[in-house]
């Protein structure tokens, strides 16, 4: 299965600044996604990162706040812009992968834990 | 509204004490039910996918089952290394690839 690397693994940021998270997959994948995991809550899909075109955002998430790039089939970035303490969360990159049976599954990176002061 | 509810929120077991975790869902059309394990500081790790009522899958001490409204993750004779958060998710009826996650069950297995 695909191996996903994210960086930074964690960071402490000041209010009003922006931070870009990088996601690298060790093989070409058709679809990549960005999730947010707030403390004690479930994973919430932010957007689907589309290769060569604008990302597709879920309800409640906008491009100005979470710009996403996907220049090729193995790499994507998520920027958290103009951060506030409410943005403190774990941000997870995932990719559409296949399990041994051939069924589609999502594989996740280890996540990037952001703390905004 | 499509929803996934997991219970209990937290579970403490003694090593060897078998139990089950529950995942109930309400979706208009099930596109697969997924179980993941998440260790602290790590991303979710895929365990099982179930697609139809009556289906069962096993892996070591874990067995996942599926009915029309819920799924169970049975843990037989757990060991301390089984301690983790177990996440359940269902495929979004409106998308082939989106998942709707529950909030997870935190399992602690004491030696």
Phi, psi of A42 (to 5 degrees): -80, 170
Q: What is the DSSP string of A71-107?
A: EETTEEEEEE-S--GGG-EEEEEEEEEE-TTS-EEEE
Does B96 reach chain A within 8 Å, measured CB to CB? yes
pLDDT for residue B1: 73
The low-confidence residues of chain A, meaning pLDDT below 50, are none
Q: Does B59 touch chain A (CB under 8 A)?
A: no
Q: For position B90, what pLDDT does the model report?
A: 92
Dist CA B110 CA B104 (whole Å): 19
Task: Give the C-alpha separation, B62 to B80, whole Å.
Answer: 14
- Give the pairing type, strands B105-110 and B10-14: parallel
Residue B71: HSE in the Cβ half-sphere, 13 Å Cα cutoff: 33
Q: Is the pLDDT of residue B27 over 90?
A: no
pLDDT in tens, B71-90: 999 999 999 999 999 999 99
Residue B111: what pLDDT?
96
Tokens of B36: 């993941």
Chain A and chain B share a number of CB contacts under 8 A equal to 54
Examine the pLDDT at B96 and tell me if it is beyond 70: no
Residue located via tokens 């994973």: A43
ω into B79 cis (within 30 of 0):
no
The CA distance from B103 to the nearest CA of chain A, in Å, is 4
The phi and psi torsions of B51 (rounded to 5 degrees) equal: -120, -25
A28-53 pLDDT per residue, tens: 998 999 999 998 788 999 999 988 88
- Inform me whether the C-beta atom of residue A44 falls under 8 Å from chain B C-beta atoms: yes
CA atoms within 13 A on the CB side of A21: 33
- When the pLDDT of each residue in chain B is averaged and rounded to a whole number, the result is 93
Report the C-alpha gap between A37 and B68 in whole angstroms: 28
Q: With 80 as the cut, is the pLDDT of residue B97 above it?
A: no
């Amino acid at each position: 299965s695909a191996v996903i690397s994210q960086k930074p693994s964690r960071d402490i940021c000041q209010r009003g600044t922006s931070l870009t998270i990088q996601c690298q997959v060790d093989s070409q994948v058709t679809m990549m996604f960005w999730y947010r995991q707030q403390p004690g809550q479930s994973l919430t899909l932010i957007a689907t990162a589309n290769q060569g075109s604008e990302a597709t955002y879920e309800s409640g998430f906008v491009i100005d706040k979470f710009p996403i790039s996907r220049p090729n089939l193995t790499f994507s970035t998520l920027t958290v812009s103009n951060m506030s303490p409410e943005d403190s969360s774990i941000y997870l990159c995932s990719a559409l992968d296949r399990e041994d049976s051939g069924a589609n599954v999502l594989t996740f990176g280890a996540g990037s834990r952001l703390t905004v002061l | 509204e499509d929803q996934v509810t997991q219970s209990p929120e937290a579970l403490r077991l003694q090593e060897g004490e078998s139990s089950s975790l529950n995942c109930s869902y309400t979706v208009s059309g099930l596109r697969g039910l997924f179980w993941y394990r998440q260790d602290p500081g790590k991303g979710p790790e895929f365990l099982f996918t179930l697609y139809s009522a009556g289906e069962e899958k096993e892996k070591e001490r874990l067995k996942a089952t599926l009915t029309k409204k819920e799924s169970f993750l049975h843990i037989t004779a757990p060991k301390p290394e089984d301690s983790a958060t177990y996440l359940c998710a269902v495929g979004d009826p409106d998308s082939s690839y989106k998942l709707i996650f529950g909030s997870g069950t935190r399992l602690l297995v004491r030696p």
